[in-house]
Every structure is written in structure tokens, then in C-alpha cells.
Amino acid sequence: MNLAFLSATDLGRALAQGEFTSEALVSELLGRIQTYNPKLNAFVEVYGEPALLAARESDRRRSRNQTRGPLDGIPFAAKDLFDVEGHPTLAGSKALAATAAAQSATAVRRLLAEGMVLLGKTHTVEFAYGSWGTNPSCGTPINPRDPLVQRVPGGSSSGSGVAVAAGLVPVALGTDTGGSVRSPSALCGVIGMKTSLGLIGRGGVQPLALVFDAVGPMTRSVEDAALIQAALQGEDPDDPSTFGVPRSNSLVDLDKGISGLTLRYPSMESLKSAEPGVLERFKETLADLEAMGAVLDEVPLPRPLEAYATLTANITTVEAWNRYQHLVEKEPSLVDPEIATRMSRGKTMSIADYLGYLEQRRVMQTEFHRYFAGANAILLPSSPITAKPMEGVHTTNAPFGLFTRLANLMDLASLSIPMGDAEGLPTAVQIMVRRFADPMAYRIARALEVQRGGLFTPPRGYEQPHRAVAQNALYAGFP
């Protein structure tokens, strides 16, 4: 049995049936991290002994019939924007003081309360401000999808995408300001959700632009992502965006199918910047959804994708500059020069500019609401390109935001799922739904996952178990 690529849902079922222990599972994944992380650079920190202790505690609860739920004993990782008690949050930067967090982020605490086991923290683009996934300051994770060429992982939740794809952990937390969950999910071939703002608290998460920042799960199955989102939701005393927001059951109607749903997509002309292989997989996905009973509806967007992407970037830049100006202008500055250059655009933007951007957003949201009328979801490729070779990309403009920022600007939820490879590299489709309609995105994705017999495939070279887990280790029972 290869524990590394079982879904969190299947792992939970197997644990419940006594097929192996959480300690055996955690030991296996820690062994994989020890072997592969020097090559992949997914993790900033690995919590080996604490993770094993937490796994043993989970096994003891199970032996006493005190299991906390289906996630008890399942490992996860968190992007290095999430506070973890007793550990510094460096946000991929050398410019922040390495001060230990007094308590863990709300999202981390929620998963720990479910009995999940935190294996460590994953790399991020510095201050989450970039979508190639590169980080010259603290190290760039390597996309596991190409055994011969070092390729970008996508960002900014780069380490989380790599760790999930390579079978180092079944679940990881990311954040999404303009595509930072969806871009690495697309390039690494995993599932990633930009959740509705207000459903999941951001307390204890290093911000980039609070007007857009959203916490989301990265997994290898749709059911896993829905299950994790259900565990994360709820009011957060440290995040006013969650106040008064009712929980939405992301598992409701998960297997109801899509017959009769209206799925809208923009004109192919507006997607012309996408690579031919991406467009081909997108058209195949549309055809599959239509064959499954959905009503496909091609309607041109109210504005070019560039308009939404540019406005999102401007608002993000103002907020990022306001938050990190003191670190960029400090002498000597420890912020990566390219990140500093991107942020410094905010120096030229006044409060009047910012208020103007917000007014433009209001107008765009109003017209987009009319565009969405009569549809259950909007479909769009997650990325216009597949993962590119690492060399030289850090200082070049990344194209991912052209397709992803729309969801953040319009306050939509957006789920990225694999839609097949192009020339051996993953492509992905976004399922964008209205704010708080997250369960609809999962329902549509799940239908495609079932129809295709799964969406995730392990990357070449990582399929085999790290080591032969001894039979007595798997079936030893509980301590």
C-alpha cells in the first residue's frame, strides 16, 4: 500500500478500519520529506518529533473510541504565512524578525482541533507577492512534474503545491490574493480552492492585501478539499470579515451531479493568450461537462480579462506598499530587489488613486453580477501556460494573474482542478461561483472527477513508497 498518494478521505477510512496507525503514516511521510525535500525544497521547517507525538496521541484516542472525526490522525502542512505557536513566521523573507509566534493561526488551530497532525511549514514567494513561485532569498520549490528540467511551481503557495503533488503530505494550507492557491495547484497538478472571503478566518496569517486575501485548501481530491474547507469554516475573533457569516456546508450535494446546471464561459477570442495545449484541454473539459448533462453557455465577458487583472494588481500594490514600505526602504533592505521593485509601484499611487480603484471595482462588480445572471458557475482555464523552466523567470512578468485575478476582484470563490496534461505537464480549469456558493464549485468538480475516474496523477519518479513499511508497523495496533 502506497500511503503517500492516498487521499485524506481514504486515509481517514483506512485509519478507522485499523489498516494502519497514524504513527505509521506520519513516519512514512517524514521519511519521504527527508528523502525528497533536499531536491524539491518544499518545506521551510519540518516538525518531526512533535508530529510523531501528535500521531501517537491520535492513535490513543482511536483506541479509546474518542476519535475527533474523519480527519483525526491525517497529516497536513501550512504555508509560511500561517503562525505556528513557538515558531517564527518569516513569509519567505529575510527582512522579518525571527520571532516565535505566541499562538497558531486560527486555520491551523481548527485543523489541529480536528486531530490533524502538522508536519511543517512550506515555502512561499516573499510576502506572497509573486506568481512564478520563485524566491531567491529563501529558496524556490521545484515543480515535481518534470524529472529532467527544473520548472517553476507557481506561486505564491509554491511549497504547498509541491508538497501535495509529490506525495509529501495529503493536505496543505495556502492563501490566495490574486491566484496564489490556484496557480501552483494548476502547475503542480493538484486541487486548490480560493474560498469565499469571510468563510475562513485569517487570524494569524501574514497579510498581503486584506481586501483580497483568502485562505484555501490544496489537496489531491475534490472531496478532500471540501472536507478541509468544512473543518476550517467559522467565525474568527481575529478576522472581522467572518463576523455574522453563516457556515456553508461544502460537502452538501457533493455527489448530486451537474445535469441541468448552466455553466458559462467567455469567448475563445478572450482566451487567445493561452497556449494551444491549454485551450485544447479546456475545450475537451467543456465537452465532457456538456455530455454529463450541463448546459454550456458561451458569453463574452463585459470587459477584457486584462482590465480585471490590472485593477486587481493596482489595489494589491497599494495595500502591499502600505504594509511593507518600511522594510523595502530600510537601509540596507533585506527584501529581494525584484519584490521591492514590484511593491515600489505603490509609492506612485495616492489615496485618491486607491479610492478610484475601489470605485472602479464597484462598477465592475455590478456589471459582472448581471453577466453571471442565469448561470451556476463560470469556467476559465486556471493558467494560460504550463510550468516553465526556472531559469530567468524571476524578473519577468508572470501571466497567471490574467486568468485568476478576476475571481478575487469580483469576490467569487474559485476552485482549480486538473484537466489533463499538455506535452506532459498539467493544465487546469477554474470553476468560479458566486460568493458563499462554494459547495456548487465542489459539486461540479466532483462530477468531473467521478466521470474521469480521478483528476490527480502522481508525478513520475515519486509513485513508489519511500520505503517498504514493515507489516508489523502498519498493523501493530495502537500504543
pLDDT in tens, 171-205: 999 999 999 999 999 999 999 999 999 999 999 99
CA angle 456, 461, 464 (to 5 degrees): 80
For residues 43, 159, 181, 156, the Cα torsion angle rounded to the nearest 10 degrees is: 110
Percent helix / strand / coil, the chain, rounded to 5: 40, 15, 45
Residue percentage of the chain with pLDDT more than 70? 97
Question: Per-residue pLDDT averaged across 370-386, rounded?
Answer: 98
Q: How far apart are CA 372 and CA 370, in angstroms?
A: 5
Q: Can you give the residue ranges of every domain in the chain?
A: 3-303+362-474, 305-357
Question: Per-residue pLDDT averaged across 219-229, rounded?
Answer: 98
Q: How far apart are CA 141 and CA 155, in angstroms?
A: 10
Q: How far apart are CA 171 and CA 179, in angstroms?
A: 18
Q: How far apart are CA 25 and CA 242, in angstroms?
A: 34
156 counts as catalytic: yes
Is residue 405 over pLDDT 50? yes
Bridge-based pairing state of the strands 75-79 and 117-122? parallel
Q: Is the dihedral of CA 153, 430, 180, 321 positive or negative?
A: positive
pTM score, two decimals?
A: 0.96
Is residue 1 over pLDDT 70? no
The pLDDT-based confidence of 463 (bands split at 50, 70, 90) is confident
Looking at 104, 156, 221, 382, which residue is catalytic? Answer: 156
Bridge-based pairing state of the strands 214-219 and 425-433? unpaired
Q: How far apart are CA 365 and CA 197, in angstroms?
A: 15
Partners of 297 in the β-ladder = 264
Is residue 168 over pLDDT 70? yes
Q: How far apart are CA 110 and CA 227, in angstroms?
A: 13
Closest C-alpha to 444, from 399, 411, 398, 413: 413
**Across all residues in the chain, what is the average pLDDT?**
95
Partners of 264 in the β-ladder = 297, 378
Q: Is the dihedral of CA 21, 27, 32, 37 positive or negative?
A: positive
For residues 118, 121, 127, 133, the Cα torsion angle rounded to the nearest 10 degrees is: -120
Q: How far apart are CA 446 and CA 452, in angstroms?
A: 10
At residue 259, the 3 state secondary structure works out as coil
Can you spell out the DSSP letters for 334-387?
Answer: -S-HHHHHHHHGGGG--HHHHHHHHHHHHHHHHHHHHHHTT-SEEEEES-SS-P
- CB-neighbour burial class of residue 359 (10 A; exposed 0-12, middle 13-18, buried 19+): exposed
pLDDT tens for 334-356 read 999 999 999 999 999 999 999 99
- CB-neighbour burial class of residue 144 (10 A; exposed 0-12, middle 13-18, buried 19+): buried
3-303+362-474 folds as Amidase signature (AS) enzymes (3.90.1300)
The tally of CA atoms less than 13 A away on the side-chain side of residue 32 is 30
188 φ, ψ (degrees, to nearest 5): -95, -10
Measured CA distances, 318 to 128, 351, 406 (Å) = 15, 9, 18
Looking at 7, 27, 79, 388, which residue is catalytic? Answer: 79
Closest C-alpha to 144, from 216, 37, 3, 277: 37
The pLDDT-based confidence of 476 (bands split at 50, 70, 90) is very low
CA angle 141, 142, 147 (to 5 degrees): 165
Is residue 472 over pLDDT 60? no
Measured CA distances, 248 to 67, 227, 258, 379, 437 (Å) = 24, 12, 19, 22, 8
Alpha-carbon Rg for the chain, nearest whole angstrom, is 21
- Supply the pLDDT for residue 466: 62
Specify whether the CB–CB gap between 209 and 320 falls below 8 A. yes
The pLDDT-based confidence of 473 (bands split at 50, 70, 90) is very low
Question: Per-residue pLDDT averaged across 116-127, rounded?
Answer: 98
Question: Per-residue pLDDT averaged across 256-276, rounded?
Answer: 97
User: pLDDT: is 247 or 162 the higher one?
Assistant: 162
Question: Per-residue pLDDT averaged across 411-419, rounded?
Answer: 98
And the C-alpha cell for 449? 472527477
Looking at 180, 241, 382, 383, which residue is catalytic? Answer: 180
Q: How far apart are CA 463 and CA 6, in angstroms?
A: 11
Long-range CB contact pairs, 320-326, < 8 A, 24+: 320/127, 320/129, 320/208, 320/209, 320/346, 321/345, 321/346, 321/347, 321/349, 322/346, 323/207, 323/208, 324/127
Question: Per-residue pLDDT averaged across 299-308, rounded?
Answer: 98
Question: Per-residue pLDDT averaged across 369-388, rounded?
Answer: 98
